[in-house]
Every structure is written in structure tokens, then in C-alpha cells.
Amino acid sequence: MKTIELKLKDKKYPVFLGYNILKYLPGLLKEKGVYQIFIITDSNLKKIYGDTLINLLEKNKFRVFLFDIPAGEENKNLINLEKLVKSMLSSGADRYSFLIALGGGVISDLAGFIAATFMRGIRWGIIPTTLLSQVDSSIGGKVGIDLKEGKNLLGAFYFPNFVLSDFKFLENLPENELRNGLVEIIKTAVVFSSNLLKFIETKPIISPINFKNLISVIYQAIKIKTKVIKEDPYDEKGKRIFLNLGHTFGHALEQASNYKLTHAQAAALGLLIACGISKKLKILKDDLKERLENLFKKYNLFYDISQINLDLIEKAIFNDKKRKNNHLNFILPVKSGKVIVKTNIPKEIWKKSVIEIQNSGG
Ligand SMILES: NC(=O)c1ccc[n+]([C@@H]2O[C@H](COP(=O)([O-])OP(=O)(O)OC[C@H]3O[C@@H](n4cnc5c(N)ncnc54)[C@H](O)[C@@H]3O)[C@@H](O)[C@H]2O)c1
Ligand SMILES: [Zn+2]
């Protein structure tokens, strides 16, 4: 088992990484003096891992409760938040209870928001079970839920007490979920590491899964993300904003498609749109856009968005919460491993780039 320590100004926590490391969970919780545990998970994971986890913890004399919500983004909402909190209260949850998020980003975002707000904050740990959550959503302390008006509109920064990333979970992960995670890794590579991007382009990673290469990619991606979080834990000034590459458009496409596109599918297209804008402004001069297009085609991530209404996309872009004083911040690639932030890009330019992707067929 490897440990990456995340030291922030006022908090530090470990990210444990390894294959088949769930068995270390009871020891970890005992060290923290935990006695009562509330596991929050989704319906799929409850079926596969619920009993195993409850048995492991009960065998070690913890008082354990497990609550699940139906799987899927549309359930990261206020209704489930209230249901979960009420179930916790009626089972005797108090300020000293420990919460565990077992699942992908939907679960850690929702459970983390509960941990942040339940009785003004309780301790919690994340057991991320998707590739996306292992490399991205479990690292960085952002938690929250969606509202009808948009994604992640209620949220907080609330860092966990630990993250336990067991690669064994990835064995059961459906292929399309592996692909979704890969997009976030490709995004991280485009922003920070041309070496990582080359590695992904040249080695077999998923479809079919190559564990050795996949684990190497996960380590590299987590290393980069933890470094960025250390420098800018609250997304205020530093490079953390770069990780939004492709996401203004990604979120807009998700919303405009009425969430038919997943976060990662939309983010992949968002990356291509960002490249398109950058090319038009002559900031990006090399073949990064074509390289990414090839990668996304190879992994079946180049979805057809010709049916999504352009006006809806535009509206969603202006609703994006990252809009500041009517300026949209766009993060644009300069080359593989380097991006810049640009404001006030003329509407015609970014609209053209969206249309280009709509017309390219997917
Ligand atoms: N907080 C952050 O910094 C951050 C960053 C990126 C994304 N996110 C959020 O993450 C969410 C997406 O997360 P996700 O892609 O992990 O999706 P998810 O949590 O919806 O999981 C995807 C699907 O895989 C299933 N699943 C999970 N683990 C499994 C396993 N080991 N075996 C079999 N099935 C499994 C789930 O039941 C679900 O159906 C979005 O809500 C997004 O907003 C948050
Ligand atoms: Zn993302």
C-alpha cells in the first residue's frame, strides 16, 4: 500500500492507494477512536459490496449502519440529502459519528456535503470505487449536490479524514465508467503533463483493462492533482482553476442534453471545443486537437451532439457558476502540458467551435 499525504494549511489527510487494501479499514478507524459508522452508498454498490463491508466492520466491533440511494447523477439532490439525514438521525447519529462514502463521485459529493453540514460537520472518509472518483472527485475536498437550476450549486470545501483507494474495485466497474475516468485523466495530462498524455496515447490502458498501465496512470494523475490541491486548496488563486479545462462547455453540454451525456462524455467534447477556440485565436499551434480527437474516438468518447440545440448550450454557458461579472473565463491549451486562462473571448469564436464539433459527427 502506498500513501500520499495531503498537507494543507489547517488540515492534513492521507490518500491510501493499493490493490486489495479494504482490509486495512478497521485498523484505520480504530486509530481514530471511531465507534459508530454511517456508510452512504448507492444501490449498485450496496448489492456488490454492502454485506462485505458491513461484516468487515461489525467483526471489528463497530456499530454500523448502511444507507443507499438509487445510483445515478439525478439522485445527487436535496431529496436524498434529507432522506439520508433523517435515517441517520433516527439511527442515533451524533457529532462523534463517522461517515463513510462508498462509491463514485455522486456518492462522495453527496455524502461529503452531509458530513460538512450534519451537526455543523462530522468526520468522514472516502472509499472511491470508480476510476473518476479515484483520480479526481475524492481528491480535493469539493462536495455538493445538484439543484434543478444546475449542477453542484449547493456545496462546500470539506476535506475528508482519509481516502482509501482500492484498485480492486475497478475490476467490477463497467467499461463505460472506466472510459469516463480516463477523460479526467486525459484532461489532467493536457493541463500538466505531456509525458502522461504520451503514455496514455501509446500504452494499452483500458478496453481491455491493463492493470499495470492503468495503475501507473492513476498514480501519475493523483500525484499531479494532490500537488495542485496543496498549492491552492480552496480554488482561489493558483493552478487549480486549470483543472476546469473543457468544463465550462462540458457542464453546458451536460445541462443542454438534459444529462443524457455523462459528465465525462461532455468534458471530452468540452476539451475539443477548448482546443478549437485556442486554434482560432492562434494560441494552440500544434496538433493537440487532432491527437485528442483520435484518443476519444479510440475509446468511444466522441459523441454526436448535433441534436443538441445551440441556444440551449449558450444559455447553459451563461448560467455557468464560474461566470464572473459577465466575463466567462476560458481555459485554453497552449500545447500538451500547458494551458492559459483567457477572458472576454468573442461569442462568435466559441460558438463556431461548438458548431464545428456538432458538425463533425461524433
Ligand atoms: N468533487 C469533485 O471534485 C468532483 C470532480 C469530478 C466529478 N465530480 C462529480 O462526480 C460525479 C460523477 O462521479 P462518477 O463518474 O464516479 O459516477 P457515479 O458515482 O455515478 O458512478 C458511476 C456508476 O458506476 C457504478 N459503480 C461505481 N463503482 C462501481 C464498482 N466498483 N463496480 C460496479 N459499479 C460501480 C455506480 O453505481 C454508478 O452507476 C458527478 O456528480 C460529478 O459532478 C466531483
Ligand atoms: Zn470533471
Cis check: omega of the bond before 233, within 30 degrees of 0: no
Determine if ligand 1 sits within 6 Å of the CB of residue 142: yes
What average pLDDT does the segment 318-338 reach?
78
- Positions of E strands within the chain: 2-7, 12-18, 36-42, 63-69, 98-103, 123-128, 142-147, 150-157, 162-166, 329-335, 338-343
pLDDT for 199 equals 98
Q: How far apart are CA 289 and CA 53, in angstroms?
A: 43
Please count the structural domains in the chain.
2
Q: Name residues whose C-beta falls within 8 Å of residue 116's C-beta, 6 or more positions apart in sequence.
A: 143, 156, 158
Question: Residue whose CA is closest, atom 10 of ligand 1?
Answer: 105
Residue range of the domain that includes 136:
2-172
Q: CA 137, 245, 229, 334: dihedral to nearest 10 degrees?
A: 150
Determine if ligand 1 sits within 6 Å of the CB of residue 254: no
- The answer to whether the beta carbons of residues 337 and 291 sit under 8 Å apart is no
pLDDT for 262 equals 84
Determine if ligand 1 sits within 6 Å of the CB of residue 339: no
Question: Residue whose CA is closest, atom 19 of ligand 1?
Answer: 104
- Do 145 and 237 fall into the same domain? no
Q: Is the pLDDT of residue 321 over 70?
A: no
pLDDT for 226 equals 93
Report the nearest atom of ligand 1 relative to the CA of 131: 16
In sequence order, what are the beta bridge partners of 329? Answer: 343
* Final residue in a domain of this structure, among 152, 172, 192: 172
Choice from 75, 109, 182, 251 to test ligand 1 binding pocket (greatest atom count within 8 A of CB): 109
Determine if ligand 1 sits within 6 Å of the CB of residue 130: yes
- Do 146 and 206 fall into the same domain? no
Choice from 129, 166, 320 to test ligand 1 binding pocket (greatest atom count within 8 A of CB): 129
- Do 165 and 106 fall into the same domain? yes
- Do 36 and 122 fall into the same domain? yes
Residue closest to 93 by CA, chosen among 124, 71, 69: 124
- Do 190 and 329 fall into the same domain? yes
Determine if ligand 1 sits within 6 Å of the CB of residue 109: yes
What average pLDDT does the segment 213-223 reach?
96
Write the DSSP assignment of 254-314 as a string of letters. Answer: HHHTTT-S-HHHHHHHHHHHHHHHHHHTTS--SSHHHHHHHHHHHTT-----TTS-HHHHH
- Do 121 and 244 fall into the same domain? no
DSSP β-ladder status, 329-335 and 142-147: unpaired
Q: Is the pLDDT of residue 320 over 80?
A: no
Domain of residue 87, CATH code: 3.40.50.1970
Determine if ligand 1 sits within 6 Å of the CB of residue 106: yes
Q: Determine how many CB atoms are found less than 10 A away from the CB of residue 64.
A: 17
- Per-residue pLDDT reduced to its tens digit, 227-238: 999 998 888 877
Find the ligand nearest to 116 CA: 1
Instruction: Say how many Å lie between the CA of residue 4 and the centre of ligand 1.
Output: 22
pLDDT for 257 equals 93
- Do 157 and 206 fall into the same domain? no
Residue closest to 120 by CA, chosen among 142, 96, 137: 96
- Do 280 and 182 fall into the same domain? yes
- Do 149 and 275 fall into the same domain? no
Cell of 157: 470545501
SS3 81: helix
Instruction: Say how many Å lie between the CA of residue 130 and the centre of ligand 1.
Output: 6
* Final residue in a domain of this structure, among 172, 193, 219: 172
- Per-residue pLDDT reduced to its tens digit, 59-105: 999 999 999 999 999 999 999 999 999 999 999 999 999 999 999 99
- Residue 75: DSSP 8-state: G
- Do 180 and 325 fall into the same domain? yes
- Do 61 and 111 fall into the same domain? yes
* Final residue in a domain of this structure, among 172, 201, 216: 172
Determine if ligand 1 sits within 6 Å of the CB of residue 169: yes
- Half-sphere exposure (CA, 13 Å, Cβ side) for 72? 6
Q: How far apart are CA 187 and CA 183, in angstroms?
A: 6
Place of cell 492534513: 12
Determine if ligand 1 sits within 6 Å of the CB of residue 42: yes
- Do 196 and 338 fall into the same domain? yes
If pLDDT is split at 50, 70 and 90, which confidence band does 205 have?
very high
